[in-house]
């Protein structure tokens, strides 16, 4: 008999007449709503929101939380996502009333603390990236990409480069790189990677032209390999009149070791929710600051935080005539920025460098321990992550997906699968620096058992997971007959 431990929808638990919120009386002379809103169409049927008392609401969402895997509950070696531990002090600092309750339009004399925090965050990120100025406005990595590409577009518009309509990306790139370039109105050309898994410099050279606006790259790339030819790549791009975009998704590998600015990059986005330890939130909010070289800094969105040379006060600087404008309301995901600032202060120069070292060391450890079971097609050492392949298991009709699903039974979140697209049956493993040796070893143990099961009892993998609240969802049914909301 199937045991159903799922939780009903909150709408199905609703009991008319119950409520959880007590509100004060208006406390002003009673007037009829329709008199206050003359001629305005008023709601005739109320929205079908749930009607429940507070304990039932709290139980429902507590129960839902228990259906999640999270960094707080287990190992999460999800490649490209940097699922490091999120220190609890960060959350407490973000909740301080002097940040959480601030309104974005308070007078500048009332917001000196938060402006200073934003300014100092920018300064620290500039030191880490080796660039000139940064905006904290974008809400996420992909949002930062869009911002950076729009800045590139504005630059070319100002420098007789309107015929530059193409952005070059390697085939190992995140999908967001291509989508952001396309959203900014560019044509995208993908170039193949070399057999070593790096950008093929000759392929790049032959694709660069007077129509190239930018080259977008991730370094270390999505195979977890440092692009050794990065200086040649940025020189070639610049010689062709193009600019260089750096996807900072993998910055966790190189803090204190190498800086995008020194690599010749013109614009970089960072993911505060990856490298700088802010929680991922189940898919957001994150933050995707964008740092720019002297060439592109004038195009950053407004406002930037300005520090007065004379009296040290902070103001919001809107007078930036070349700015692309805005990509978001107000100033960014500020509570995320407070968390990252807290992390940066606490880590300091040595802590950040040590974080990158340990992230790389742990990835290489797993790579070495798994090499015989799930080979890595590209030569190492790797940086903070590596991409193994489960192709050897296809003979037993076991796929990377089956391996991933079986890992769930061990209480371990699987690696990223089927990405990057250039590795068949890809398993992209990123342990991060916050997992201890015991956690790394239990992952190796689980992978060993899975490898054994693939040979001895492959059915257990094909039907995995077996211990989770639900099994594999029927994705085809979900897409063919979309049910996207509760119906009574």
Partner 1 sequence: MSLPVHTDDDRRRLLEAVGVSHVDELFSSIPPAIRQVRLDLPAGLTELETRTRVEALSAADTTPDSASFLGAGCYRHFVPAAVRALVSRGEFATAYTPYQPEVSQGTLQHIFEFQTCVCELTGLDVANASLYDGPSALAEAAFMALRLTRREEILVSQGVHPETARVVDTYAGGPGFPVHRLPLDALTGTTVFDCASLSPAIGAVLVQQPNFLGVVEDIPALAEAAHAAGALLVVSVNPSTLGVLEPPGRLGADIVAGDVQVFGNAPSFGGPSAGFMACGTAHIRQIPGRLVGQTTDSEGRRCYTLTLQAREQHIRRAKATSSICSNQALSALAATVHLALLGPDGLRERGEICLKRAHHLHAALCALPGVRPFVTGPFFLEFALALPCPAAEFAQAMRGHGVDPGVPLTRLLLGADAGPSGAGTSPGGLVPEHVLLVAVTEINTPEALDRYVAAARETLAALTPEEPTP
Among 60-68, 235-243, 387-395, 445-453, which window interacts with partner 1 (CB under 8 A)?
A: 60-68
**Nearer Cβ to partner 1, position 315 or 391?**
315
Inter-residue contact 343 to 86 (CB < 8 Å): no
The closest of 115, 144, 142, 139 to 129, measured between CA atoms, is 144
Alpha helices by DSSP H, 211-333: 230-239
DSSP bridge partners of 214? 167, 243
The residues in 18-37 that bind partner 1, with binding defined as CB under 8 A, are: 18-21, 23-31, 33, 36-37
**Nearest approach, Cβ of 307 to partner 1 (angstroms)?**
14
**Nearer Cβ to partner 1, position 52 or 203?**
52
Please tell me the distance from the alpha carbon of residue 295 to that of residue 267, in angstroms, as a whole number: 9
Among 8-16, 239-247, 304-312, 385-393, which window interacts with partner 1 (CB under 8 A)?
A: 8-16
The residue whose two tokens read 């004060």 is: 24
Q: Say if strands 416-417 and 426-429 run parallel, antiparallel, or are unpaired.
A: antiparallel
What count of other Cβ atoms lies within 10 Å of the Cβ of residue 464?
A: 24
The residues in 128-187 that bind partner 1, with binding defined as CB under 8 A, are: 128, 139-143, 145-146, 149-150, 153-154, 174-176, 178-185
The closest of 431, 453, 116, 38 to 252, measured between CA atoms, is 431
Please tell me the distance from the alpha carbon of residue 162 to that of residue 153, in angstroms, as a whole number: 8
Please tell me the distance from the alpha carbon of residue 116 to that of residue 305, in angstroms, as a whole number: 8
Select the residue interacting with partner 1 from 75, 77, 79, 117 (CB under 8 A): 117
**Nearer Cβ to partner 1, position 9 or 395?**
9
Angle of CA points 243, 245, 250, to nearest 5° = 155
- In angstroms, the Cα distances linking 193 to 144, 211, 247, 294 are 25, 21, 17, 30
**Start-to-end Cα distance in the chain:** 28
**Nearer Cβ to partner 1, position 98 or 455?**
98
User: Tokens at residue 206, please?
Assistant: 């032959």
Contact call for residue 267 and partner 1 (CB under 8 A)? no
Select the residue interacting with partner 1 from 295, 353, 442, 449 (CB under 8 A): 353
Contact call for residue 127 and partner 1 (CB under 8 A)? yes
**Nearer Cβ to partner 1, position 72 or 455?**
72
Inter-residue contact 11 to 485 (CB < 8 Å): no
Binding-site string for partner 1 from residue 423 to residue 452, where x marks contact by CB under 8 A and - marks none: ----------xxxxx---------------
Please tell me the distance from the alpha carbon of residue 466 to that of residue 469, in angstroms, as a whole number: 9
- Determine the length of the chain: 488
CA dihedral 177, 426, 404, 280 (to 10 degrees): -20
The residue whose two tokens read 């049927």 is: 45
**Nearer Cβ to partner 1, position 110 or 457?**
110
The residue whose two tokens read 């990223």 is: 416
Among 205-213, 238-246, 276-284, 454-462, which window interacts with partner 1 (CB under 8 A)?
A: 276-284
The residues in 313-332 that bind partner 1, with binding defined as CB under 8 A, are: 318-319, 324-332
Angle between helices 112-129 and 334-370 (to 10 degrees): 30
Select the residue interacting with partner 1 from 132, 209, 295, 365 (CB under 8 A): 365
Query: Binders of partner 1: how many residues, by CB under 8 A?
Result: 208
**Nearer Cβ to partner 1, position 33 or 309?**
33
Contact call for residue 488 and partner 1 (CB under 8 A)? no
The residues in 381-420 that bind partner 1, with binding defined as CB under 8 A, are: 381, 383, 404-405, 408, 413-414, 416, 419
Select the residue interacting with partner 1 from 159, 239, 322, 361 (CB under 8 A): 361
The residues in 193-222 that bind partner 1, with binding defined as CB under 8 A, are: none
**Nearer Cβ to partner 1, position 310 or 487?**
487
Please tell me the distance from the alpha carbon of residue 246 to that of residue 267, in angstroms, as a whole number: 6
Contact call for residue 350 and partner 1 (CB under 8 A)? yes
Contact call for residue 66 and partner 1 (CB under 8 A)? yes
**Nearer Cβ to partner 1, position 70 or 194?**
70
Chain mean position to CA 152? 22
**Nearer Cβ to partner 1, position 240 or 366?**
366
**Nearest approach, Cβ of 481 to partner 1 (angstroms)?**
9
Contact call for residue 344 and partner 1 (CB under 8 A)? yes
**Nearest approach, Cβ of 447 to partner 1 (angstroms)?**
15
């Amino acid at each position: 008999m199937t045991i159903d431990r799922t939780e009903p929808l909150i709408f199905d638990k609703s009991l008319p007449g119950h409520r959880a919120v007590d509100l004060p009386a208006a406390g002003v002379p009673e007037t009829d709503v329709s008199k206050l809103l003359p001629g305005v169409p008023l709601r005739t049927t109320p929205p079908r929101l749930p009607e429940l008392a507070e304990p039932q609401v709290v139980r429902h969402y507590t129960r839902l939380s228990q259906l999640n895997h999270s960094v707080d509950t287990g190992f999460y070696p999800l490649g490209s996502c940097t699922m490091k531990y999120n220190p609890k002090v960060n959350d407490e600092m973000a909740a301080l009333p002097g940040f959480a309750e601030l309104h974005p339009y308070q007078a500048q004399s009332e917001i000196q603390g938060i402006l200073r925090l934003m300014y100092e965050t920018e300064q620290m990120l500039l030191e880490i990236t080796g660039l000139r100025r940064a905006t904290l406005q974008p809400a996420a990595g992909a949002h930062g990409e869009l911002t950076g590409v729009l800045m590139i577009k504005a630059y070319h518009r100002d420098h007789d480069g309107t015929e530059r309509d193409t952005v070059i990306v390697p085939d190992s790139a995140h999908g967001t790189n291509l989508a952001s370039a396309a959203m900014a109105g560019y044509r995208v050309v993908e170039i193949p990677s070399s057999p070593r898994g790096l950008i093929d410099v000759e392929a790049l050279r032959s694709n660069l032209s007077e129509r190239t606006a930018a080259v977008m790259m991730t370094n270390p790339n999505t195979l977890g390999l440092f692009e050794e030819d990065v200086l040649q790549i940025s020189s070639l791009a610049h010689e062709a009149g193009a600019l260089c975009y750096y996807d900072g998704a993998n910055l966790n590998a190189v803090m204190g070791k190498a800086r995008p600015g020194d690599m010749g990059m013109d614009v970089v986005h960072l993911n505060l929710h990856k490298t700088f330890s802010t929680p991922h939130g189940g898919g957001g909010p994150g933050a995707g600051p964008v740092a720019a070289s002297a060439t592109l800094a004038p195009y950053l969105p407004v406002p930037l935080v300005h520090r007065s040379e004379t009296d040290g006060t902070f103001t919001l600087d809107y007078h930036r005539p070349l700015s692309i404008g805005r990509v978001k309301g107000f100033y960014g995901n500020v509570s995320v920025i407070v968390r990252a600032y807290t992390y940066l202060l606490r880590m300091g120069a040595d802590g950040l460098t040590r974080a990158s070292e340990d992230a790389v060391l742990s990835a290489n450890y797993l790579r070495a321990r798994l090499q015989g079971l799930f080979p890595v097609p590209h030569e190492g050492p790797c940086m903070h992550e590596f991409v193994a392949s489960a192709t050897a298991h296809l003979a037993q009709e076991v796929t990377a997906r089956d391996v991933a699903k079986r890992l769930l039974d061990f209480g371990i979140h699987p690696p990223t699968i089927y990405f990057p697209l250039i590795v068949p049956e890809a398993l992209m493993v990123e342990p991060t620096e916050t997992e201890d040796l015991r956690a790394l070893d239990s992952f190796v143990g689980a992978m060993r058992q899975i490898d054994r099961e693939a040979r001895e009892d492959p059915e257990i993998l094909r039907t995995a997971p077996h211990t989770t609240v639900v099994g594999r969802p029927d994705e085809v049914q979900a897409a063919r007959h979309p049910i996207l909301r509760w119906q009574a």
